[in-house]
Structures are given as C-alpha cells and as structure tokens.
Structure 1
Amino acid sequence: MPLPVVFVLLTVMIDTMGVGLIMPVMPDLIKEVTGGNLANAALWGGVLTAAFAAMQFLFAPFLGSLSDRFGRRPVLLLSLAVMAVDYVVMAFAGSIWLLLVGRIIGGITAATHATASATMADLSEPGKESEGFGLVAAAVGLGFIAGPLIGGALGEFGTRAPFWAAAVLAAANLILGWVVLRETVTDDIRRPFTWRRANPFGSFYDLSKLPGIGRGVISFFLYQFSFAVYPAVWAYYGKAQFGWNAGMIGLSLALFGVSMVVVQGVLIRAILARFGDRGTAILGLVFSAIGFGALAVIDSGIVALILTPLAAMGAVFSPALQGLMSVKLGPDRQGELQGILGSASAVAMAIAPLMMGGIFAHYAAPDAAWYFPGAPFILSLVLTLVAMILFLAPTSQTQKS
C-alpha cells in the first residue's frame, strides 16, 4: 500500500481514536476538575460531546473548501499539529472550561476527516474511488475498536495518560505526512475559496442543485442517523433484551467492529467488482434493513451475534454512495463534497443518540405500557427504507452548473 494512502488512513484512524481514547477516563476527569458527582459529570460529558460534534458539523465544509483551494497537504498537516497541541493542553487542563475549549478545538481538527476522504479520492485510480472510501471507513472502524481499548488500559496510569498518548500519535503522524504526502490538488482542479461553499448550508444548497447529489446527501444522512443506533443503545439493549453483562457487551461490540473492518477494508472490493457502485449501495441498504428489522424482534443473544456480520454488511452503502457522488462531481469539488458529508454525519451522530436513547428509555422502562427494547431499531429500519426510496427514485437530468 503506498505510503501516502497509509498516512491518510492513519489520519482518519487517529481522528476516530482521539474520541474513544479519552472516553474511558472522561467521567473521572470531569469529576476531578469540577469536584462534582457522576451525574454532574454525565451532564458535562454531554456538553463536551455536543460541542465536539457541532464543530465537526460547522468546519468540515470549511476545511474541505480550504483544501480545494490551498491543497490537502497544508490542511491535513496543520490540523494534526494543532490536534497534538490541543491534547497536550487538555492533559494539563485544571478546569471544565479548559476541557470545553479543548473539545471545541478537537472537533475542528477532527473535521479533517472530510479532507482525508478528498485526498483518498485524489489518490485513487479513476473509477475506483469507492474502494478508497471503503479503506477510509475501515480505518474508522479500527479507530473505534482500538481507541477505547487503549484508552481504558492507559487510564490505569491516570486520567491524563490517554491525552499524552493521543498527542504523541498525532505528532508522529504529522511527521509521517510531512515526509510522504505530496500535494494532490493541481492547478487544473484548484478552486477559488468562497464562504458560500465553506459553510454547510451554502454548500448543501449548491450541491443540491446537481442531479442526484441532494438526494444522495439526504440518503447519506438518513443512513448515518439509522446506523447511530448501535453506539447509542446497543449496550443498554443487550442488557435489557438478552441479559448480557459488561464483558459480553464488549465482546459483541468488538465482533461488530471487526466485522465492519473486514467488510469495508476487504470484502467491499469484490462486492464493487460484482455489483458496481449503485448495486453495492442498494445491497448495503437491503442488508441494513434486514439487520435492523431482525434486531428489533429477536430475543436470543446467540442469534444477535450471528446476525452481527450480516448487519455489518450494510456498511458498504456509505463508500459506494460516496463513490457515485464523487464521480458525478469530478476532481475539483471533492473537498466540498466530503465536507458536506462530514457535516451530515456529525449532525446525525449528535442528534441520533438523544432520540434513540429517548425511545429506548420509553419502551424499556419497567412500567412501560408496551415493553419493547428493540423499538429504536424500528426507527432505524424506517429511516433506512426512506433512504432507499430516495436513492432509487429517478432524478431529472439537468446540466451541471
């Protein structure tokens, strides 16, 4: 695998790991700096998470548009440098307000996921962009697996240790990128920077005027929203529906993460070769719908584990859809496209846990009129079917402006 591709994948993985790496120590760290109890720490944890997601939403198109104008290399390297410094500041933070500032800056630097995806599109052979996006998605899966595991282990050495580790990882990847990454934006595809395209609302408005792109972004958002049911309620669902303990829940999450990596990093190439981008996207939606529908009603933990690889197959939808839209827009708008997709994903990940958690709490309450812990998966099923309808609906062919 070429070193520039390795750098891009490591960048995405470190972005993802940065969240999971510090997650295990955040309750104790927040209690430490506020002097409050666990309930108070949970409230502040929600504020920090929301701030992180909000910055990703706002800045993904901004950084993507900057990379279309000034190049991927300076945006990625500068973000990694700021990220490393930010983690050092958080390692020394003695107040909740400094932690909040750190999460705001961290959300901005992690918004380079969009720029990394645009770089992968630049580095991919024509017609094989979806394979590159599959590798990016696999790197995200690895980050989700490795982050909490490493963070939990480092947490034994104190609440600040994971921040130092995250800083070292960001700095090491910065050095690698400085050495191996060439600029992929040439004068032929360079675009002028405009504030209209650099914000998620203006960018979406411009892109939505192109045939199929607006629906594609909405379908992407709906899929990300439905997929968020796993991190939002899986642990609670497993306990309520199957009586799993913490160890079993962790095992099931690890199985899901590994399945995601295998699907998006390995199997997607064969699937794309057999079905193409469009067919692969449809296949992903079908597998997702089957997985959500089954998980809503089954009462066997063994069956849930068997279904895990099937549910993970649905993850081929995102890279296939990204590939379709990437080809439609051409090389000069990759940063803008990946920026708006990054914003859509950030909004989904910020809102979905609140809605999914609320639905679960209502239907899994001991005094619920209808005890139905699988209710959030019904919502995910409905959203997936809506995404499928939007994706399959014919679009009017208008000239690209």
Structure 2
Amino acid sequence: FQDLFGVSMVVPLMNLHIKSLGASHTVAGIIGSLYGIMQLFSSTFVGCWSDIVGRRYSLLACILLSAMGYFILGTSTTVFLFAFSRVPVGIFKHTLSISKALLSDLVLERDRPLVMGRFNAASSVGFILGPVVGGYLAEFEGGFYQTSFICASIFLLNGGLVWMLPWSEESTGNREHYQDKGANSFSAKSDHDLHLKSATSTAVTNSNFFQSPWTQAATVLKKIKGIACSNLWDVFLVRFLMSVAILLYYSNFTLALEERFGVKPLFAGYLLSYSSALGVVAGCLLGPITRLYQHNTYRLLLHSSTFTCLLILLYTSALSIWMVILSSTFLAFSTTIGRTCIIDLELTVGGNEASGTLLGVGQSVTSVGRIIAPLLSGIAQEFSPCGPPSLAVALALVAIVIMNANKQKYRSHGSVKLKN
C-alpha cells in the first residue's frame, strides 16, 4: 500500500515538472521510454538475484536505492538531474515483485491466490489515494519537490519495516508442501528431498549474500538460462497476449468514449476510478472464488480470460454508454482475477525455489507488452476508434486457444514443476 501510494503521488506530476524545466515533448517521451527499457531488462536479473541472496537483503537494497532515486528527483532543477534520478528507480524499483515472491514463499500453495489477491487489493487502494494527495500538494509552491521527498521518506519507512520486522526466510519455499496429500501428487521421495532442500535454505542464502559479485552474476545467468529452457513458454505467451489485450483496451479509452458517445474526459476518469475500486473488491473475493473452483488455478484463468475477451467484445460493439459501464464493471473483476491466476500458475509450474526469477521474467514480458501496445494502438486507431479493443479481442482469443491446447498439461494442478 505504502509503496504504490508514494509512487502514485509523484508519477502523475512528472510530465508537468519536466516541461517546467524546459524539456520538449520528445525529450520527455525519450526519458519515459528509457525508464521502461531499464525496467524491462532489470526485472529478470533483480528477481533472480533475490533468489540467490534472499528476499530480505534484495528487498531492502531495492527500497533504499529507489528512495535515493526519489530524493534526487526531489532536487531535480535541470533536465539532466531529472533523467539521472530515473536510473536507480528504473533498475531497482522491483519491490512489488520481490514482495510477491516473498509471499509465495511464506504461504501454502492453495492459499496463494487469496493472499496475492489481498496484496493486489492493498496496492490498488494506494494507487487510488496517491494521485489525490499528490494533486493536492502540487497546488502549493514547490509542491512537486515536497511530493518527491514524501515519496522517498515513505520508501525509507518501508526499508525500516523490512529491517525491523521479525521474519525469517528459514521456512520459505517449503510451507506449501504441508498441504493435504489429496491435494497434490508429489511422491514421498520428492517430499523428503524438498524438505531437506528447504532445511538448508537459510544457510545457502546467507552464504550466497557474501559471494563475490562475479559468482552471483554467474548464478543469475545460470538460473535465467534454466527458465529460458523450461516448459513455461505457453504461460508467458498467454501473459503477454492478455497484457497487450488489456493495455489496448485502456489505450484510447477516454478518446473513444468522447468520439463514440460524446462524453467528457471527466466522466471517463470517474469510470476508471470506479473500475479500480471494483478491482479492490475483486481482490478480496478471490478466496471464495478459488474455493469454488477447488483451487484449480488453470481452469479459473481460462474462464476469466474468456470472460475478459467477451467483455471487451461487448465494449467494442456497445451502442450506449450503459453497455460500456456494464462491461467495465465486470471487466474489473475478470482482469484482477486473471492477473492473480497467471502469477499463481507461473509459481506453481516453476516452483518456489525460483519464484523471484519467474516473477522477474513475467514482469519483463509485461514490460514488452507496454512497449508494443501503444504502437499497435496507434495503428489500429487509424482505422476506427474501436480498432484497439477489436485487436484486443483477437489477441485474447489467441491466448484462449493456447490455453485450451495445453489443457492436458495442467490438468493435475500443482503436479508439474520446472525442469532445469
């Protein structure tokens, strides 16, 4: 909550600030693109590094270096300082991914969607409240600088909490194996090996932290190679396709509503805030929904993706604003459930011993989608305001076909693990 609350206070004000420093629209766009590219390449390496040195040390390092970036941002009186402040944030702002990896280590596998849903709900609340506070502070003289310092202070507070809270990585990665025997298909020998491996996880983590940087880098590359050669290609492809589809849906949302129905941008803003609030509710309802599906994440992901595809199709063919409101209402639930399920499926197939790497690769896949989606949206809008959501429907259909084609592979939920 605090992480996204602080970030969302600053991000909406950044374009205004860089323009006040005399930068052109092109320079502002280049700086924004460089940040996205740094996130794209660093997320996998930072996630893998968290698997090697441990969640606590990596999370603390990312928080403190991100705080440094926002402190520099708070002193940026030139375009160069503004651009330089984005470097540590672009490389190390992966606190949410590492936090998700930590949660996946600490909870039972069957409880993971519920915990991830609540985590996403808390993050969404912070993202809803942050822009309101940031906009209020921006009204004062020097408001951007105050907002940046407050954001950096929030990160320092989070770093203090990570350092002080009494938690241990001793039990990470093995709690999921204490589930009911009927809920999984692991053999007795596999259970014994997994418990033996987890019993030594703390010693390995501590020793890895004091390894040389070259040794850590070699281990990172080895783990990334293991992910690249694994059988997770279909999961990452589905994540990429659904991410691009949802980004296309939102890419021209305000403009399309104005052109198709004559509504003002203020109404579109209210509708987006309404959808964000419903996303918080959806995150809190993931527990009952997963129990209804008997913790079959793959089936829930397939159904939520199908529902998302149909809702975007309904929005594309909507004849009145009420159909748009209806589709936005249910789309908030289906997209929230889908995002949580795809992360849970990645961790289920890949195993908790590589959770940081898996989440990092998944974040990189989403970052590629963020780079490609604006280009596809611009091309599609040349034909019609409904072009981007129509393309989103096509991509979602491809993702659904891929999931159906691989249904047999994931029929036994939780029984397939990543093979290095």
Give the TM-score normalised by structure 2: 0.81
Which amino acid in the other structure matches residue 95 of structure 1?
A: T
Is 1:79 aligned to residue 100 of structure 2?
no
The aligned residue for residue 356 of structure 1 is 377
The aligned residue for residue 293 of structure 1 is 313
CA contact (8 A) 1:288 1:314 kept: yes
The aligned residue for residue 367 of structure 1 is none
Is 1:110 aligned to residue 98 of structure 2?
no
2-side partners of 1:181 and 1:99: how far apart?
Answer: 37
**Among 335, 350, 354, which residue is 2:356 paired with?**
335
1-side partners of 2:103 and 2:2: how far apart?
Answer: 12
In structure 1, the gaps of 5 or more residues are: 1-8, 364-371
Q: Deviations over 1:8-27 (max 9, x none)?
A: x544x35xx51x32233223
Change (3 A) 1:74 1:240: same
Change (3 A) 1:27 1:66: closer
* Partner SS, residue 316 of structure 2: helix
Change (3 A) 1:197 1:247: farther
Which amino acid in the other structure matches residue 297 of structure 2?
A: D
Is 1:235 aligned to residue 254 of structure 2?
yes
User: Percent identity, aligned pairs only?
Assistant: 22
Alpha-carbon offset, residue 187 of structure 1: 6.0
Is 1:97 aligned to residue 97 of structure 2?
no
Aligned positions of 1:225-304 closer than 5 A: 225-263=244-282, 265-275=283-293, 276-304=296-324
More deviation in 112-121 or 130-139?
A: 130-139
Alpha-carbon offset, residue 28 of structure 1: 2.6
In structure 2, the gaps of 5 or more residues are: 173-197, 209-214, 410-415
More deviation in 303-312 or 139-148?
A: 139-148
2-side partners of 1:68 and 1:399: how far apart?
Answer: 15
2-side partners of 1:231 and 1:197: how far apart?
Answer: 39
* Partner SS, residue 244 of structure 1: coil
1-side partners of 2:243 and 2:75: how far apart?
Answer: 34
Which amino acid in the other structure matches residue 73 of structure 1?
A: R
* Partner SS, residue 338 of structure 1: helix
CA contact (8 A) 1:81 1:174 kept: yes
Q: Deviations over 1:16-45 (max 9, x none)?
A: x51x322332233112212x5xxx2x3233
Aligned positions of 1:33-182 closer than 5 A: 33-34=21-22, 40=24, 42-157=25-140, 158-180=143-165, 182=167
* Partner SS, residue 373 of structure 1: coil
Which amino acid in the other structure matches residue 178 of structure 1?
A: W
CA contact (8 A) 2:308 2:331 kept: yes
The aligned residue for residue 392 of structure 1 is 404
Q: Deviations over 1:250-281 (max 9, x none)?
A: 10110111111111x21221111112211210
The aligned residue for residue 178 of structure 2 is none
- How many residue pairs get aligned? The number is 371
Alpha-carbon offset, residue 148 of structure 1: 2.4
CA contact (8 A) 1:295 1:304 kept: yes
The aligned residue for residue 3 of structure 1 is none
1-side partners of 2:15 and 2:40: how far apart?
Answer: 25
The structure with the larger Rg is: 2
2-side partners of 1:183 and 1:313: how far apart?
Answer: 34
The aligned residue for residue 325 of structure 2 is 305
**Among 365, 383, 391, which residue is 1:379 paired with?**
391
Give the TM-score normalised by structure 1: 0.85
Q: Deviations over 1:163-215 (max 9, x none)?
A: 1221122122222222226242566445877647746xx8665325333x111
More deviation in 275-284 or 222-231?
A: 222-231
CA contact (8 A) 1:219 1:391 kept: yes
1-side partners of 2:130 and 2:374: how far apart?
Answer: 20
Which amino acid in the other structure matches residue 70 of structure 1?
A: V
2-side partners of 1:238 and 1:103: how far apart?
Answer: 33
The alignment yields a C-alpha RMSD, in angstroms, of 2.5
Change (3 A) 1:65 1:133: same
